[in-house]
Structure 1
Amino acid sequence: MTRRGRFRGRAVDAEVDAFLGIRYAEPPFGARRFAAPVPVDDAGDRREFGPIAPQSARLPGAPVWRPGDEDVLTLNVWTPSTSDGPWPVLLYLHGGAYTFGSSAQPDYDGTALARAGLVVVTCNYRLGFEGFGHVDGHPDNRGLLDQRAALRWVREHIAVFGGDPDDVTVGGQSAGAGSALFLAASEPVRRVIAHSVPNRVCTPGFARRVAEWIDSTTPESAVASADALVAAQRTGPLSYDPVLFGPVADALPALAVDALLCHTDVEYALFDAVGTFRPPADLRVFGRDWGIPDHVIAAYEHFEDAHVRLAGDFVFAEPTARLAEAHGRAFLARFTRPPAWHTADVPFSFGNLAGNEFLIGGPAGDDERALSRRMLRAWVDFCTTGDPGWTGVHHWGEEVESRREAWRGVDLPAPVDHPVEPVT
């Protein structure tokens, strides 16, 4: 056991201490359901992850949500035990299409980053309908409000763990990357790390149409009815990529602080491999349904995996690259080491290759461990100095030809406003 102020945690090894399942807000259920988070002053024995937010996902190595689990607004801290700091802080937000995932996933263990000189914080936040569904008389984007509450907890308490409250980087991947942008736009932070930023925000009208088919009586009925609504989408973009929840906003916020951005080379290869990506055979029908111009679609027709590459560039790669261009001084990287699909970069950046054979495409060898050390070092250096160690576009893996030329001058879509097919 190890102590930091009123908190008792566990020594991971001689260099790192971990404090898990610290409550940063009251359980968001009962009278507090669908309300803004209510901060709480926690203390005590914190050596186990807290319950995860309501969802139906069952992810490898991660806990599952069980009806009755309510104390879901918790965070975790990994801190160097070798000195009192102050150390730079990384608050990392997990991904999962704003619908699933948790800070307890093995991918997000902060031990290696803490050993390298960061205080690492991960947090749970409300997901799916609980976090992003429209409920009359209640605030939208409750999951984003949870993240703001977690950051405020960090600023108030992280000095106890050796962290510098004035040197906080917020980071995330996929939905976590989008969340990090919104968090940095609403709260003072020093820097942002955003991998595979999805160009996905929702109109109020879309959120209301989804809400019509959600049974919000209980958390479990909300999860079950959302799953049924996903399954009911048979045509159009929601049948290819059935994401029903996300921030209700006009657009992704612009970056106003130093940023480290990254995307993978073939993002949608992951969704193709696990069977959740179901495009129509005709590439032009597929592209037009998403509002992609014909000349862009034509630039992909020669690829054997044209649907996969077009979707990945449209949803993740091009939006991420454009954020870097608009920012002017952001650092941009492309992860090209095969399989180079969505999320493959996360275990490398966290230094958590063991147990992630599926995500990284097989067992880790010397080359993979060396790449992981370089990527982890870039994160630590960026959080510490604002410089990950390169200029221009950096490649994690072999340099590959950019597919960006066809996208020049093409507007990316407005917020998601698709029709929603009813459950029958």
Structure 2
Amino acid sequence: MTAVQTDPVVSTPYGAVRGRREHGVAVFRGIPYAAPPFGPRRFRPPVPPEPWDGVREAADFGPTAPKPPYSDAFAQYLSDPFVPGDDCLNLNVWTPEPGPGARLPVLVWLHGGALTRGSSAVPVYDGLAFARDGVVFVSVNYRLGVEGYGLFPDAPANPGLRDQLAALRWVHESIAAFGGDPGRITVAGQSAGAISIGALLAAPQAQGLFRRAVLQSGPPEASDRDKVRRMVRRMATRLKVPATAAAFAEVDRELLLRTQAEVGRLSSPVLGGPAFGIVVDDDLVPRDPLEALVEGSAARGVELMLGWTSDEYRLWLVPGGLLERVDRLGPVALAGAMARCHCGSEVVRGYRALHPDAGTADIVGQMVTDHLLRIPLHRLAEARPGSSYVYEFAWPSHRPDLGACHALELGFVFDTGAAPESAKLAGEGAPTELADAMHGAWVRFAADGDPGWRPWDATHPVQIFGKGDPYVESGPRDHDFAVWTADTTTPETAPVKEPAEGWPARTAELRSVVRRLRRTGLARRH
């Protein structure tokens, strides 16, 4: 006689929750780790949720943080579900074996979305495969945009990052009841999620809450406080209110989102501009995270896995046909890239020499990607030899022109390639063997800190996940990175030669491209 499986019930510090049995694992969705951040708690640090009596149902995803939708150009590639409600500081748990005796490795996922979009409800982030393979998987919602990263004179900075810290504390205290080992917690994230992890690695208050970290396509960094203030001030001007948390807390939530989206069009991942970001705050983030980590004053003993995709920038330029337009701009676009990267013309000439067949858009895209993303991660690996593992995702999408773009690796890491939301980026027929390899590496790293290739050393080993079997290559981008250290000029001392004809027209077209990038609605990073 077959035993009837009942829905699992687990006790948390604030009350019991009832999950569901799905495909052989237990799933708990929408568990609050902090109180709703609205009313008197708006723009304030998170506080614990109110305890509840009885058993709380945890079958469905909880509310998502307020956020504007992606533009039409990006919505065809990226999914971003919206769940209404105030109780948006919640998390989800997938576990193969709820109960305090299992002591399984734990992976906590922080989603990307430029700190303005995204949520744990994105179907690509389904934790089933991790739980199936013996890892307790946790995904987290946190405040976004001005609610989470606005900078005000009358409120603490970085409330969204403080939400993530509160979630990690909840996991550390509560995960044993779900079968997890609080001594084997890995925190992982992509893009803005990886940037958040970089800050948490360097945050004194987060020390001891996790043992390992995975940074996918996002470096440790602190944003310029003036850029974030400009975002808030521009919003305040449009709203006709003071640039204070008290004033913004009185603004209708939907109006605040619309205003944020309008002001956010002034920012793009390629051309920069004011944007929301994590800032140094003398409290949670006492100094620039990358410098703290490189100098060795933070996160000692934490094992790292770091990586990027081969064509990150193509997600930023392909939607809306911007790739071809940047190619046509030629020297004008290269001058814009020099300004964005704060470099001289020697960098451009170096990339041209190393990649003679590349078009202007590819040169611009790779320069910006290296400056913003790969070189900082490379510096971090150099500072942590023996305990850092580096990868590059190189499989090109089946969708036209995307190549191995930003966020494409996610469906492989989660082994969710069969989901329609994964096919929006990968196209149909993505290789399951590649998903097996990547997902397996993430599982092994969470379990014992060894993803399956040798750690960073003087030979600069990088695991390449592309067509065919994965393989290790020594320093595949070292020549590109060396161009930056050889650069001795600045934009002021190394002017770009203007073409004899067509310069005004091309400058006008560059301005048009800038406007198109602003209209995409994708902020600094996915």
Give the structure-1-normalised TM-score.
0.88
- The whole-number CA distance in structure 2 between the counterparts of 1:371 and 1:393 is 16
Alpha-carbon contact 1:210-1:244 (below 8 Å) kept: yes
Residue 248 of structure 1: which of 279, 289, 298 is its match?
Answer: 279
Q: 1:242 to 1:2 in 2, by over 3 A?
A: farther
- Secondary structure of the residue that 2:255 maps to in structure 1? helix
Deviation sequence 1:206-227 (CA, Å, 0-9, x none): 2222211124323322221121
Match of 2:417 in 1: 353
Q: Look up the match of 1:119.
A: 136
Q: List alignment gaps of at least 5 residues for structure 2.
A: 1-6, 240-247, 281-286, 294-298, 397-402, 455-460, 491-514, 519-526
* One-letter amino acid of the counterpart of residue 160, structure 1: A
Count of matched residue pairs: 405
Q: Which amino acid aligns with 2:337?
A: G
Deviation at 1:409, TM superposition (A): 6.0
Give the secondary-structure state (helix, strand or coil) at the position aligned to 2:105: strand
Question: CA 1:180 to 1:292, structure 2 compared with 1: closer, same or farther past 3 Å?
Answer: same
State the one-letter code of the partner of 2:289. Answer: L
Displacement of 1:198 in angstroms is: 4.0
In structure 2, give the amino acid aligned to 1:379: W
Q: Distance in 2 between matches of 1:243 and 1:364?
A: 39
Q: More deviation in 208-217 or 158-167?
A: 208-217
2:151 maps to 1:134: yes
SS of residue matched to 2:82:
coil
Structure 1 residue 200, shift from structure 2 partner: 4.8
Q: Which residue of 2 aligns with 1:77?
A: 93
Cα contact 2:33–2:48 (8 A) shared by 1: yes
Query: 1:134 Cα shift?
Result: 1.0
Cα deviation, residue 277, structure 1: 6.5
Q: Give the corresponding residue for 1:320.
A: 377
Please say if 1:21 is aligned against 2:39. no
CA deviation vs aligned residue, 1:182-236 (integer Å, no higher than 9, x gap): 2233312101011111465322222222211124323322221121112346xxx
Specify the alignment match of 1:416 in structure 2.
Answer: none
Report what 1:203 is aligned to. 224
Task: Give the RMSD, CA atoms, in angstroms.
Answer: 2.6
Alignment check: 8 A CA contact 1:283 1:306 kept:
no
Q: 1:377 aligns with which of 436, 440, 454?
A: 440
Contact kept? 1:267, 1:316, Cα under 8 Å: no
Q: Which amino acid aligns with 1:263?
A: W
Map 1:13-52; keep pairs closer than 5 Å: 13-14=23-24, 16-40=25-49, 41=51, 44-52=56-64
Q: Quick one: which of 332, 341, 344 aligns to 2:405?
A: 341
User: What amino acid is aligned across from residue 228 of structure 1 in structure 2?
Assistant: E
> Would the aligned equivalents of 2:270 and 2:365 in 1 still touch at CA under 8 Å?
no
Work out whether residues 86 and 159 of structure 1, in 8 Å CA contact, stay in contact via their aligned partners in 2.
yes
C-alpha separation between the residues in 2 aligned to 1:135 and 1:318? 31
2:347 corresponds to which of 296, 312, 315? 296
Of the structure 1 ranges 339-348 and 277-286, higher mean CA displacement relative to structure 2 is found in 277-286
Deviates more, 1:201-210 or 1:124-133: 201-210
Give 1:64's match in structure 2, choosing from 60, 64, 82: 82
Provide the residue aligned with 1:212 in structure 2. 233
Report what 1:287 is aligned to.
337
- On the 8 A contact 2:196/2:220 being kept in 1, the answer is no
Q: Is 1:4 paired with 2:10?
A: yes
Find the partner of 1:229 among 233, 238, 263: 263
Deviation at 1:318, TM superposition (A): 2.1
Alignment of 1:87-98 (within 5 A): 87-98=104-115
The runs of 5 or more residues in structure 1 that have no matched partner are 414-420
Report the Cα offset of residue 64 of structure 1. Answer: 2.0
TM-score, normalization by structure 2: 0.72
CA distance in 1, matches of 2:253, 2:277: 18
- Alignment CA distance shift 1:327-1:409 (3 Å): farther
Tell me if structure 1 keeps the 8 A contact 2:98–2:178: no
- Aligned residue identity for 1:363: E
Between 336-345 and 209-218, the greater mean CA deviation after superposition: 209-218
Equivalent residue number for residue 396 of structure 1: 465
Map Cα deviations across residues 85-113 of structure 1 (whole Å, 9 max, x no partner). 11011111000111110010011111001
Once the two structures are superposed, residues 142-167 of structure 1 have per-residue CA deviations (whole angstroms, 9 ceiling, x without a partner) of 11000000001101111110001121
Q: Which structure has the highest helix share of the two? A: 2
SS of alignment partner, residue 109 of structure 2: strand
Contact 2:222 2:277 in 1 (8 A): yes
Cα–Cα, structure 1 residues 130 and 393, in superposed 2: closer, same or farther, change >3 Å?
same
Deviations for 1:290-335, whole angstroms, at most 9, x for unmatched residues?
1123211223343122222222222222222222112223100011
| Separation (CA, whole Å) in 2 of partners of 1:28 and 1:232 | 27
Aligned to 2:482: 405
Kept in 1: contact 2:228–2:274 (CA 8 A):
no
My pick for the range that moved more, 177-186 or 91-100, is: 177-186
Q: Structure 1's 277 and 36: CA in aligned 2 closer, same or farther, altered over 3 A?
A: farther
State the percentage of identical aligned residues: 36
Corresponding position of 1:192: 213
Equivalence for 2:123:
106
Larger radius of gyration: 2
- Separation in structure 2 between the aligned mates of residue 199 and residue 293 of structure 1, nearest angstrom: 24
Q: Give the aligned residue type for 1:314.
A: H
Question: Is 1:54–1:65's contact at 8 Å kept on the other side of the alignment?
Answer: no
- Other-structure match for 1:418: none
Contact 1:92–1:122 (CA under 8 A) maintained in structure 2: yes
Contact 1:86/1:164, CA 8 A, preserved across alignment: yes
- Tell me which residue corresponds to 1:332: 390
- Native 8 Å contact 1:56 1:65 kept in 2: no
Amino acid at match of 2:310: D
Residue aligning to 1:262: 307
